[in-house]
Each structure stands twice: as C-alpha cells, then as structure tokens.
Amino acid sequence: MITPNQTLFLIIDVQGKLAHTVSAPEALETNIKKLIRACQVLEVPILVTEQYPKGLGHTIEPIMALLEGNEPVEKLSFSCCGTNDFMKKLRSFNRNDILIAGIETHVCVYQTAVELLDFGYNVHLVADAVSSRTEENRQLGIRCIEKAGASVTSTEMAIFELLRIAEGDRFKAISKIVKE
C-alpha cells in the first residue's frame, strides 16, 4: 500500500495541444486536479513532465495553476526515464512508490511505467487519470502496464489509501476534495 512518506505523484505530459484530443479530457483533468490537491494536503511531492513543449505546448493551465513553483521537466524521449534531468529529480525525492497519471497511456505513460519498474520502483497507475487519443489505446496501455507489474488504482482509491484514517483536519480536507 502507498504511504505519503514513500510516494511521489508523477504527472506525465498533460499538455495543451494533446490534452484536448484525448478520450474523456474533462474526467482526466478533474481526477488529476483531485490528486494534486490531495497530495498537497498529504505532503506527497509532485513531479510534472512535458514532451517537446515547443511543439505540444505546456502543461494545461488548470493543472499548473495548482502547482505554483513546480517546474515541469522537459523531455524528448517517450519514457520520462530517458531524460537525465528527470532521473536526477526523481532520485532526489528518495521515494519508492510512484503514482502515475497523464497521457498518452499507451506511449509515454506505458514506457515510463515499464522503465520505472525495471529500475525497481513500485508503480501505481491511476487508471481514471490516464488517457489516450482513443479509448482502445488507453485500455491497451493500462493492460500492458499492469501485465508488466504495476498496480492499478483509481483516483479515490489512491487518495484514501494515502490518507488511511477517517479523522482530523486532513480527513476533512480530503473529503471535500473527493466530493467536488
């Protein structure tokens, strides 16, 4: 199970030109924003990547607006792990559980998840916070990531797993986030 002190939330390539072309873009954005806000309450670090931002644009504003001071890691490789800056930043957090959201499930998310698993990380794919341009490719990506050894979770499942206890200020804040 994931815990706040061992988890990092990785948001992969939710960028302007691509974010609006994927399957169910509104649900994707809503779930990622819930995860961001919950991770902030629970003090889980967040790492953001952008695939070739000169061509695909930057991370969409509704997400970046919640991540003040968080500078996305630019990359050209489909896997985040193919970028030295990403690997340095990832290792600096010293977290072993990587909670993944983003796009596209069958390309960048898939390749990153598999390489993180190869490096010995525990990968937790948030199935309702990933997407692709087609639902078929989204589903294929999820199946292949799970087959490679990742755990598959949902936005609410991950949030409540990180929270663990139904009391106190954190519970109240998380309850509000989940209900929105």
- pLDDT score recorded for residue 40: 97
Q: Has 108 been annotated as catalytic?
A: yes
Strands 122-131 and 151-153: parallel
- pLDDT score recorded for residue 95: 98
- pLDDT score recorded for residue 180: 83
- pLDDT score recorded for residue 17: 81
Q: Has 13 been annotated as catalytic?
A: yes
Single out the residue of 52, 49, 38 nearest to residue 115, CA to CA.
Answer: 49
d(CA 79, CA 89): 15
Single out the residue of 170, 173, 12 nearest to residue 103, CA to CA.
Answer: 12
Kindly report the length of the chain: 180
- pLDDT score recorded for residue 76: 95
pTM over 0.85: yes
**Fold classification of 7-179 (topology level):** Rossmann fold (3.40.50)
pLDDT 10s per residue in the chain (180 long)? 999 999 999 999 999 989 999 999 999 999 999 999 999 999 999 999 999 999 999 999 999 999 999 999 999 999 999 999 999 999 999 999 999 999 999 999 999 999 999 999 999 999 999 999 999 999 999 999 999 999 999 999 999 999 999 999 999 999 999 998
d(CA 142, CA 125): 8
* Contacts made by residues 175-180, CB under 8 angstroms, sequence distance 24+: 177/34, 177/37, 177/38, 177/41, 178/34, 178/38, 180/34
Q: Has 128 been annotated as catalytic?
A: no
* Active-site residue identified among 13, 34, 39, 80: 13
- pLDDT score recorded for residue 103: 98
* Active-site residue identified among 34, 80, 108, 128: 108
Residues 6 or more apart in contact with residue 30 via CB below 8 angstroms? none
Tokens encoding 78: 């489909």
* Active-site residue identified among 33, 34, 39, 75: 75
